[in-house]
A = this chain, B = another copy of it.
Amino acid sequence: MPKVSQQYLDGRRSEILDAAIACFSRDGLHRTTMKDIVRESQLSPGAIYNYFKSKEEIIEAIAERRQEKEGELIFEAIQRGPAASALTRVRDAFLDELGNPKERLRRRVSVQLWAEAQRSTGVRKIVRRSFEEPRKLLTEALLDAQKSGAIARWADVDAIACFVIAAFHGLVLQQEWDSDFSPEPHKLLLDLLLKAVAGKHQPAMAE
């Protein structure tokens, strides 16, 4: 008969997810056992099952968290300035993210989730959303930019949004494979692309 604050409860939940992320990032979704998470979280199996009703639910909660995080990343980048230069800010947000070693652990889990999405309906829904939502936000911003003339009228703004996201995801993978990986050179390439789709009257990117 507990009677504990909601804050306490949320804290516990979060601790479990952090522990799970540490494990998943280290050993993968499937090689991580509940026992591993128990050890990492310093809790007991029973305690964890009070907060999540299955391992699957933990995975989904982590996916959800990622999804929210990425959504915010894009959203904030877009909101932070004029629509005309939104793409540039998104580009920076992405590349900064790649350069942020603290997020590396979570990106490793993202790769796991991409794989898991192929067989878990629950995870697939969330992973899809974490692609579709940024895509929509970005597309809308680009549409604004296009209306304002910052992006060429012939450009397929949805394709641009998808392509930029695709490049980001591909670079996330490469960072895992190449120990010398640096996001810098790709900034320039993305710039070239942005310039290539820039409208006549206003630059796609404002410096």
**A185: Cβ under 8 A from any B Cβ:** yes
Which one of B28, B46, B167 lies within 8 Å of A170 (CB-CB)? B167
In the complex, chain A residues 112-136 whose Cβ is within 8 Å of any chain B Cβ: 112, 114-119, 127-128, 131-132
Report yes or no: B116 in contact with A28, Cβ–Cβ below 8 A: yes
In the complex, chain A residues 181-207 whose Cβ is within 8 Å of any chain B Cβ: 185-186, 188-189, 192-193, 195-197
Pick 27 A–B contacts, CB within 8 A, sort by A: A26-B119, A108-B118, A114-B173, A115-B115, A118-B176, A128-B177, A131-B174, A131-B177, A132-B177, A159-B186, A159-B188, A159-B189, A162-B185, A162-B186, A166-B166, A166-B171, A167-B170, A169-B169, A169-B170, A189-B193, A189-B197, A192-B193, A192-B196, A192-B197, A193-B193, A193-B196, A196-B196
Give the 7 A-B residue pairs with the shortest CB-CB distance, closest first.
A166-B170, A159-B185, A115-B115, A30-B30, A192-B196, A170-B170, A169-B170
Not counting A111-B114, A166-B169, A167-B167, a sample of 9 additional A-B residue pairs whose C-beta atoms are within 8 angstroms of each other reads A112-B115, A118-B176, A132-B178, A159-B188, A162-B178, A162-B186, A167-B170, A169-B170, A189-B197
State the A residues within 8 Å of B (CB). Answer: 2, 25-31, 44, 46, 108, 111-112, 114-119, 127-128, 131-132, 156, 158-160, 162-163, 165-171, 173-174, 176-178, 185-186, 188-189, 192-193, 195-197
